[in-house]
Amino acid sequence: MADTRKSSGSAVSLALLLGWILPGAGHLLTRHWIRALLLFLAITSLWWLGIAMNGHLYMPGGGDPLSILGFVGDLGSGLFYLVGYAGGLGRGVVQVATADYGTKFLVVASLLNVIAAVDAHNLRIGRKPDGRSL
Amino acid sequence: MSFEFSHFAAVLLFASCASVVFGITQRTTTRAMVRYGVACWVSFVGVVIVASWLMYLVRH
């Protein structure tokens, strides 16, 4: 199987960038197809469940430190955040008990996406052993 | 489309999704990934159950 590891050059961070933009996409670059699919399903499900539970998507310019922290956290979902921002998702007034859970689902999904993107990067540069069967 | 889950259902969904990500990213081999993912899931749900009972005892 072709060695997909890179140690230098502009493409070395491509897995990190792709993984941030779309959950699991970084693992496609490293040819870990099943990991990519599972990560995509898990993170995407968590994020969209957060939206469906009327969670709040933090916007830029929140003002208070917690809102800024929430915004930085939500940015970790990459393309999903852009879709939510453009589509006006996650901006409704929180009126149901599980909406707070939805907000947490959104932030955690975004942070998990960052973890997954970093994992793809580590596989790409050889810092993490392949351990391939997935 | 809007969903309203029970608190426990939300816990199960959260634990399942997070455990999949933790299992894949924190371990190397398939076997280790599955074992760690299951351990994470059990920990998530177990801690919530224990904390819930503690809160119940504190309240009552």
**Chain A residue numbers touching B13 (CB-CB < 8 A):** 45-46, 49
Count: domains in chain B: 1
pLDDT confidence of residue A93: 65
Is residue A22 a part of any domain in this protein? yes
Q: How far apart are CA A85 and CA A83, in angstroms?
A: 5
Is residue A130 a part of any domain in this protein? no
Is residue B29 a part of any domain in this protein? yes
Residue of B nearest to A117 (CA): B25
Contact A43/B2, CB-based, under 8 Å?
Answer: no
Is residue B23 a part of any domain in this protein? yes
pTM beyond 0.95, yes or no: no
Is residue B3 a part of any domain in this protein? no
Is residue B15 a part of any domain in this protein? yes
Is residue B26 a part of any domain in this protein? yes
**Chain B residue numbers touching A117 (CB-CB < 8 A):** none
Contact A55, A110 (CB under 8 A): no
The set of residues, in sequence order, having a beta carbon less than 8 Å from that of B23 and lying 6+ positions away, is B33, B34, B36, B37, B38, B40
pLDDT confidence of residue B2: 72
3-state helix, strand, coil in chain B (%, to 5): 85, 0, 15
Is residue A131 a part of any domain in this protein? no
In terms of Cα–Cα distance, which of A49, A31, A12 is closest to A133? A31
Is residue B25 a part of any domain in this protein? yes
Average pLDDT value for chain A? 87
ipTM: 0.89
From B1, B17, B25, residue closest to A115, measured CB to CB: B25
Q: How far apart are CA A39 and CA A117, in angstroms?
A: 10
What is the residue range of A24's domain? 11-125
Burial of residue A31 (number of CB atoms within 10 Å: 0-12, 13-18, 19+): middle
Contact A133/B30, CB-based, under 8 Å?
Answer: yes
Token pair belonging to A33: 């197809």
- On the question of pLDDT at B37 being above 70, the answer is yes
pLDDT tens-place string over residues A82-114: 999 999 888 866 667 777 889 999 999 999 999
Count: domains in chain A: 1
What is the residue range of B27's domain? 8-59
